[in-house]
Structure 1
Amino acid sequence: MTPRPSGRAPDAMRPVSIETGFARHAEGSALIRVGGTEILCAATVESRVPPFLRGQGKGWVTAEYGMLPRATHTRGGREAAKGRQSGRTQEIQRLIGRSLRAVVDLAALGEMSITVDCDVLNADGGTRCAAITGGWVALRLALDKLVRNRVLARLPLRAQVAAVSCGLTQAGPVLDLDYDEDSTAAADANFVLTETGGIVEIQGTAEHAPFSQAQFEALLALAQAGTVPLFAAQRAAVDAALGAPPPETP
């Protein structure tokens, strides 16, 4: 096996930081940095729900995802200028939305919608995973604001959720792929997990040849260990933003 391009150990995460309040007008926001990947996540609360939920007393959580033209090595055209979103963009924002909805009590939210916008400022691998991790913080702060303003009686969150990528490279199974690794990996997978050990979603792809169950289990173990510091970073960001112990999550 060869060393990783970054020199990191196979089970080493890139540096992670989460800055809250970056989008001053949003009900909740977080600028998450995972190595060279930087994403602004902003949560917006609206007093309406999609037509298919009207009159049911349930809320909705969704997400939108996009990349700035120079978030990558070469300029990518703005999808708004093209008049349509790419399939990749649609797939990623649906993943983010599913991941966040999985830990929200939609009945307790009531007939309100929360949209979490995730805009990639700089991309160096793992953008969808960072968007989920930072998106949870933005969502958490927006929900806390509703509780503090007595719009909601309690915090309608069931758990924390975060995500991390893992892959099979020339260095073997590795955690938290950057662009150099992701672009050449023999297999890569995105793990969306809760802090209690629950699995929300797993996306795994063999790029060249099928991988084994043992290899998959090695990747899962890396992801479970790798999300631990992500959950800690989320809690620290929320506590710092609120300046006081947050309401208990039931």
Structure 2
Amino acid sequence: MAIRNVIIEKFETAAAGAVILSAGNTRVLCTASLSTDLPGWLASKEPPSGWISAEYNMLPGSTSPRKKRGTDGRSTEIQRLIGRSLRAMVELTAIPGVSIICDCEVLQADGGTRTAAISGASVALMLALGRALEEGKLPVNATDRIPIQLVSAISAGVVKGKCVVDLDYEKDSSADVDLNAVQNQRKEWIELQGTGERAGFTKAQLDEILDLCDAALEQIRDRQLDFLRNHLSTESSRMLIGS
């Protein structure tokens, strides 16, 4: 089982954390910005909590033909998926009063943009929290380990009767079954979205797809962790990823 080459690059910007994640020819810029501007319904919640949300867009030139600028129904659905996945990363009461917005901009699209955005935004969020720790902006003790888990995501499906993982545009456009999988560091499934686009699928096929996703996500997670170990301070690395 082979997945496309995953490359994570740090991107210098005004945001607290920013990376470009490439999966084959798909490239997504993911940034994480911190503020104290919480949703109104959360401001008086007890115990105090933080919040994480996401926005997703595709640059007009990321596809051919050119995509019209602006958020459509597909983008809204995807950014909700990204937001849910990122909120599953961290116990929100551990970041009271902190709002994190992750922006995902697709620079080049060749399938799997939403899953690349989740994996990249997870890393950007970790970088942002690491910076906040170094600047004393998180209410934690020096001995604390923040209750947080990286999340990773991958696409999969059934193409011409064969279960496959990490679909590029060509495979995705001809898939009979399409599935997106999100998993945390404990290998717990955070979200599974599966659709029979042109045909149904059996439990045996679903089990095979999940096994493929499990192995692929371990590879992606290894790349995420290697990147974070090289870009977080020793103390932030200990508090966020435990090493």
Settle same-fold status: TM greater than 0.5: yes
Distance 1:103 1:76 in 2: 31
Which digits, 9 at most, give the CA deviation of each residue in 1:1-45, with x for residues without a partner?
xxxxxxxxxx2100000011x142110011000000000000000
Tell me the number of residue pairs that the alignment of Structure 1 and Structure 2 aligns. 234
Matched, 1:46 2:35: yes
TM-score by length of 1: 0.90
What displacement does 1:237 show?
1.2
1:117 and 2:103 matched: yes
Q: Secondary structure at the match of 1:117?
A: strand
**Which of 45, 49, 53 is matched with 1:58 structurally?**
49
CA distance in 2, matches of 1:208, 1:126: 19
Given that 1:124 and 1:178 are in contact with CA atoms closer than 8 Å, whether structure 2 keeps it comes out as: yes
8 Å contact kept, 1:147–1:155: no
Q: Match for 1:222 among 212, 217, 227?
A: 212
CA contact 2:146–2:239 (8 Å) conserved in 1: no
CA distance in 1, matches of 2:3, 2:26: 13
TM-score, normalised with respect to structure 2:
0.93
Aligned to 2:120: 134
Equivalent residue number for residue 231 of structure 2: 241
Which amino acid in structure 2 is aligned with residue 106 of structure 1?
L
**Aligned residue identity for 2:65:** T
Residues 25, 58 of structure 1: alpha-carbon distance in 2 compared, 3 angstrom cutoff: same
Unaligned runs of 5+ in 2: none
Q: How far apart are the structure 1 equivalents of 2:167 and 2:147?
A: 29
The aligned counterpart of 1:6 is: none
Counterpart of 2:165 in structure 1 is: 175
8 Å CA contact retained: 1:144, 1:247:
no
Counterpart residue number, 1:8: none
Calculate percent identity across the aligned residue pairs: 41
Moved more, 230-239 or 114-123: 230-239
User: Secondary structure at the residue paired with 1:248?
Assistant: helix
* Structure 1 moving runs of 4+ over 6 Å: none
The farther-off stretch of 166-175 and 85-94 is 166-175
SS at match of 2:33: strand
CA offset at residue 175 of structure 1? 1.1
2-structure distance, mates of 1:194, 1:201: 10
Q: Judge conservation of contact 1:64–1:93 (CA < 8 Å) in 2.
A: yes
Q: CA offsets, 1:31-82, max 9 Å, x none?
A: 0000000000000001120001012211100000000001012101101xxx
In structure 2, what is the Cα distance between the partners aligned to 1:243 and 1:106? 23
Does residue 13 (structure 1) correspond to residue 19 (structure 2)? The answer is no
Work out the CA distance in 1 between the residues paired with 2:12 and 2:83.
20
Distance in 2, matches of 1:178 and 1:77, equals 22
Matches for 1:150-169 after TM superposition, within 5 Å: 150-152=136-138, 153=140, 154=144, 156-169=146-159
Q: Do 2:130 and 2:233's aligned partners in 1 also have CA atoms closer than 8 Å? A: no
1:155/1:110 CA distance change after superposition, 3 Å: farther
Structure 1 residue 117, shift from structure 2 partner: 0.2
Amino acid of the structure 2 residue aligned with 1:64? E
**Residues 104-161 of structure 1: CA distance to partner in whole angstroms, max 9, x if unpaired?**
1111101111000000000000000000000000000101111111221156442110
Give the partner amino acid of 2:54: A
Q: Does 1:213 align with 2:203?
A: yes
Which of 78, 100, 119 is the matching residue for 2:69? 78
Structure 2: distance between partners of 1:88 and 1:171: 27
Match of 1:193 among 183, 192, 201: 183
Deviation, 1:86, is 1.1
CA distance in 2, matches of 1:51, 1:23: 31
CA contact 2:27–2:109 (8 Å) conserved in 1: yes
Residue type matched to 2:170 in 1?
D
Q: Does structure 2 retain, via aligned residues, the 8 Å contact 1:143–1:156?
A: no
Q: Which amino acid aligns with 2:29?
A: L
Q: Does 1:144 align with 2:130?
A: yes
